[in-house]
Amino acid sequence: MKKTRIALYMIPALLPPIWLLLSGQGAKMPVMNERRWGLLLQSAEIAAGSFLLCCLIAVFAALGLFLHFPKKKMLRWFFMILAPLPSYIYALTYMNLIRFFGRWIPSFLSVPMAGLLPCILVETMAYLPFAVAIALISLEQADGREWKAALLMKDADLVYFQIILPRQLPYLLAMGAVIFILSVTDYSIPSLFQVNVYAMEIFSDYSAMGNSACSLQLAIPMMAISVAVLLLGVFPLRNVKRPMAAGEEVHPNHSPLMKGLCYLGVGILFLQILLPILSLLPFIKEMAAEFVPAWEEMFHSMVTGILAVILLTPIGAGMALILSERPEKGKNNYAVILWILTLLPLSIPGVLSGIGVLKFFSDTPLAFLRNHLAMPAIGMAIRYLPFSALIQFGCYMRMDRDKILAARLLESRKGQAFFRVKLPMMYPGLCISAIVVFLLTLGDVGCALMLMPPGKEPLSVKIYNYLHYGASETVAGFCLLQVICCLLCMSLLYFAVKGHGHAGSKASDKTI
């Protein structure tokens, strides 16, 4: 059963490069000239900057949330409210803020509107909520009794950096590797800031030559770097002993400097939410004016997202359940291999994933779907399958395992414990995964650009094109529409999960 679930995950997740490899045998290898190596290095620089900045902020922000926000309240997770927001909205926010402050403070106009720095800052804001989420989850698993005992002997700052942070580090490195891969395989944000990167080279080469096999070979150096970073990031997980005992609440008295850094980290999380909203609110009239013209594109995006979620959620749930199982003694290396298999599809650039799905549809009897929204939906499902598994894994790690074990021991027939206890406990993870992935598909550019049917342009591609044309007011109205959609969906998720939390807990207690 476990092997079947792994196969159901791996076959579609790796379908694009496998199909391109099988159909492109004998194709001429593209030349890796000096310019292309330079583009690859530039992509790595942006990704490394985003990775380091995200992890640095996440360490202090997660500690600030852990110490100053109630543990059992959803308020601790407020920073996730705009987590699935498309990164190009943060790019527009950056541009709007520079223009706004430049009117009053002329020196702000000297801040670069193009180049590597804006790319790193925008990508950091886009990926920061996920980094903080992992840092907070790992911090919540710290052994409270061990932490308190250490505080009797050492200063609170030293205890954190010598004992607690090393326990968080494997999780942070794994999340950092994911951020690096997402950044290095993306071309949408760098292109908005006039920075040419290697992922754009793959897209440009395919647009000019139409040779999918050549695109795969061109992507190999980038995928090799991504896999290397993935291995370095995931390998330390083999030493993690899961799950750590949460123990008691801890209230260490940190130094003023440490507290200031924590407040700064939490403040950045507030800005990550407020800045997009505040910078786009002046364009609410444009949003109202453009709502009707954008409705058709929004409808195409929503249908695609819903179909993608239906396809990927059950498969992601199966892989997440495998990852959340406690590894047997002496089988930590097996757990690491499972993690690598889960994260490996992330190393496939979005544009290459789109090319692979396009090639697969063209070469099989499924070619008739090329004119339907099912095609981009399948492409999105393949692209965001790892996200679904990771999000659900994070939720499943918080389930009460003793309650599940008790239900298995007391069930009167096979499957009763799963349907009456485990599945209701999985409900929050399924909801969070479905809504977050749905919102991610709404903002996708790479896959959508390759797979959209004729005459069925999604809103994300329309916004991306308008940003290049410079129609700032119109595109701001579109972006505000997406922000409101994100706020509504995440608010709905909050009430759904909060309401189920009490009901589900009582129901499972009654069942046992």
Confidence of residue 239 (pLDDT cuts 50, 70, 90): low
Interval 352-364 mean pLDDT = 88
| Assigned token pair, 189 | 């944000």
Rg (CA), the chain: 23
Segment holding 302, helix H or strand E: helix 284-324
Residues, the chain, total?
512
Question: Residue 171 pLDDT > 60, yes or no?
Answer: yes
Q: What angle do CA 474, 480, 483 make, to 5 degrees?
A: 150
Residue with token string 């992601």:
316
Q: Name which of 5-14, 265-274, 299-308, 335-344 the model is least confident about.
A: 335-344
Using an 8 Å Cβ cutoff, are 381 and 12 in contact?
Answer: yes
| CA nearest neighbour of 228 among 39, 53, 447, 47 | 47
Average pLDDT value for the chain: 84
* 187 within domain boundaries: yes
| Assigned token pair, 318 | 């199966």
CATH number of the domain bearing residue 322: 1.10.3720.10
pLDDT for 502 equals 47
Segment holding 19, helix H or strand E: helix 15-23
* 40 within domain boundaries: yes
pLDDT for 287 equals 74
pLDDT in tens, 103-115: 788 777 777 788 8
**Which of the listed ranges 46-50, 299-303, 395-399, 488-492 does the model predict with the highest average pLDDT?**
46-50
* 164 within domain boundaries: yes
| Assigned token pair, 71 | 């543990």
Which residues, 6+ apart, have CB-to-CB distance to 463 below 8 Å? Answer: 86, 88, 475, 478, 479, 482
Secondary structure class of 244 (helix, strand, coil): coil
Higher-confidence position of 454 and 398: 454
pLDDT in tens, 66-119: 988 876 666 788 888 888 888 888 988 888 888 888 878 877 777 778 889 999
* 9 within domain boundaries: no
Residue 27 CA to residue 206 CA, distance in Å, equals 14
* 4 within domain boundaries: no
pLDDT for 505 equals 47
pLDDT in tens, 260-280: 999 999 999 999 999 998 888
The fraction of the chain above a pLDDT of 90, given in percent, is 26
Which residues, 6+ apart, have CB-to-CB distance to 117 below 8 Å? Answer: none
* 2 within domain boundaries: no
Question: Residue 245 pLDDT > 60, yes or no?
Answer: no
Question: Residue 242 pLDDT > 70, yes or no?
Answer: no
Question: Residue 30 pLDDT > 80, yes or no?
Answer: no
* 108 within domain boundaries: yes
Q: Give the count of domains, the chain.
A: 1
pLDDT for 507 equals 45
Residue with token string 């549809």:
361
Residue with token string 């999340």:
175
Interval 191-197 mean pLDDT = 90
Query: How distant is the alpha carbon of residue 487 from its chain centre?
Result: 17
Residue 76 CA to residue 70 CA, distance in Å, equals 6
Q: What angle do CA 97, 270, 94 make, to 5 degrees?
A: 20
Q: 458 lies in which domain range?
A: 15-24+33-511
* 150 within domain boundaries: yes
